[in-house]
Amino acid sequence: MTDFSLHDGQLFAEDVALEQIARTHGTPVYVYSRAHLERKYLDYADALQGVDHLVCFAVKANSNLAVLNVLARLGAGFDIVSVGELERVLAAGGDPGKVVFSGVGKQRDEMRRALEAGVYCFNVESVSELERLQQVAAELGVQASISLRVNPDVDAGTHPYISTGLKENKFGIPIEDAEEVYLQAARMPNLRITGVDCHIGSQLTSLAPFMDALDRVLLLVDRLAECGIHLEHLDLGGGLGVRYRDEQPPSASEYMARVRERTAGRNLKLLFEPGRYIAANAGVLLTRIECLKINEGKSFAVVDAAMNDLIRPALYEAWMDIVPVTPRQGSGRNYDVVGPVCETGDFLGKDRTLVVEEGDLLAVCSAGAYGFVMASNYNTRGRAAEVMVDGDRHHLVRRRETVTELFASEQVLPE
Ligand code: LLP
């Protein structure tokens, strides 16, 4: 994580000491690096120079307005899965004409709002959704651009909860049925077929499954052309992995080069929906050690962040690096780093060798994607603050939730 590094014995985000952020804003706090977000977005965009393309950041990975705004300023598109995400993109200055609307259960109101806003394309996942979209578009007297999300039945080789491209998953239309569904869509007057889409899973660390999926989708593109359906774009979804520990994922430029090679001469606009690749290593979760519990055979560092702030370790047994913000000298002890929530599954990391004392700050690394966005108020804990660092400046981009806010919309029964 080059944008988070040690200087003079202290961990910095760009040119700002994390200690200073914790002092100013308290903990737990998510800290993002603007430079990292920009560089990772540009990895994709630069590698696609010279071909028609759209890089749509997957808003679900990190939907903070400041994050979306930084990317919008670079010309990014956005991949959304709800009207809520659409409103965020609009509020952050994103261009609706660069938005793709994914998701397996879009509601009528969401479709209506997206059509009014003028999104680029709906990634449709079923015949029933096609019919629904046709109806809504007809009511509004407009045409909806669509692509079908096909399920190419390839094994992404990733965690089962984040693998989506197999037949048994709920996502997409089985690729062998896709031709028939396209023909049905072609008969719907308020739909305009523009593309094809697939997303096979997340945190992929090899290009092989992507290229297998691409090959299968290109066969479909050719079959469709024979039926007179000429697609304008190809959306390969997100999924490119990042390094949490010792993974060696391919770079975006390698991936883009392979896709460009394979699609050369086809006149297809290329779309991608990266989330994790852009945001994961752009963020850390800063937390303070409340107390150290040294039990026989097991030691715990109880910190002020918990599974409600960052659920990836509890939910996927995800390994995320945990480092002291101001490293100490000495011999380490083996700790489980746990939060104050009343669940045995409330841990951020297990078996970590740390030299720490009570009151020390820890940074949970690679927390910029699927971190804050998956936070909850479990145990009536307000959600953390979020800060963005930009060179030597830092900005509060979401203030900490207060306890009164948490139950402000609740009511007791009448007398
Ligand atoms: N496009 C679609 C249709 C998706 O479903 C996803 C992620 C993406 C793009 C972005 O994928 P990425 O580039 O970030 O891999 N919460 C899990 C990850 C869930 C991913 C869901 N879909 C985690 O923390 O690992």
Distance 199 CA to ligand 1 centre (A): 9
Whole-number pLDDT of residue 166: 64
- How far apart (Å, rounded) are the C-alpha atoms in residues 372 and 179? 39
Residue type present at position 25: H
């108020």: which residue's tokens? 377
Percentage of the chain lying above the pLDDT 90 cut: 94
Residue 238 CA: which ligand 1 atom is closest?
Answer: 13
Q: Which atom of ligand 1 is nearest to the CA of 61?
A: 14
- Sequence ranges of the binding site for substrate: 276, 312, 316, 343, 370
**β 233-235/173-174 pair status:** unpaired
pLDDT at position 1, please? 47
- Which CATH entry fits the domain spanning 34-276: 3.40.190.10, 2.60.40.1120, 3.20.20.10, 3.40.1650.10? 3.20.20.10
Looking at residue 158, its pLDDT comes to 63
CA distance 211 to 22: 44
pLDDT tens, residue by residue, 60-112: 999 999 999 999 999 999 999 999 999 999 999 999 999 999 999 999 999 99
Domain range summary for the chain, segments of one domain joined by +: 4-32+280-406, 34-276
Q: Is 291 a catalytic residue?
A: no
* Ligand 1 pocket, residue 149 CB under 6 Å: no
Question: In the predicted model, what is the mean pLDDT of the chain?
Answer: 96
pLDDT recorded at residue 191:
98
* C-alpha of residue 200 to centroid of ligand 1, in Å: 9
Segment 25-38 mean pLDDT:
98
Please work out whether the CB of residue 238 comes within 6 Å of at least one atom of ligand 1: yes
Binding-site residues: 239, 273-276, 312, 316, 343, 370
**What residue owns the CA closest to ligand 1's atom 19?**
162
Candidates 2.40.37.10, 3.40.50.300, 3.30.470.10, 1.10.3720.10; correct CATH number of 4-32+280-406?
2.40.37.10
What string of H, E and C letters represents the secondary structure of the chain? CCCEEEECCEEEECCEEHHHHHHHHCCCEEEEEHHHHHHHHHHHHHHCCCCCEEEEEEHHHCCCHHHHHHHHHCCCEEEECCHHHHHHHHHCCCCHHHEEECCCCCCHHHHHHHHHHCCCEEEECCHHHHHHHHHHHHHHCCCEEEEEEEECCCCCCCCHHHECCCCCCCCCEEHHHHHHHHHHHHCCCCEEEEEEECCCECCECCCHHHHHHHHHHHHHHHHHHHCCCCCCEEECCCCECCCCCCCCCCCHHHHHHHHHHHHCCCCCEEEECCCHHHHHHHEEEEEEEEEEEEECCEEEEEECCCCCCCCHHHHHCCCCCEEECCCCCCCCEEEEEECCCCCCCCEEEEEEEECCCCCCEEEECCCCCCCHHHCCCCCCCCCCEEEEEECCEEEEEECCCCHHHHCCCCCCCCC
- How confident is the model over 174-207, as pLDDT tens digits? 999 999 999 999 999 999 999 999 999 999 999 9
161 Cβ contact partners less than 8 Å away, ≥ 6 residues apart: 315, 316
Q: Is the dihedral of CA 284, 286, 292, 293 positive or negative?
A: negative
Which positions make up the binding site for pyridoxal 5'-phosphate? 239, 273-276, 370
Atom of ligand 1 nearest to the CA of 239: 15
Amino acid symbol at 188: M
At residue 220, the pLDDT reads 98
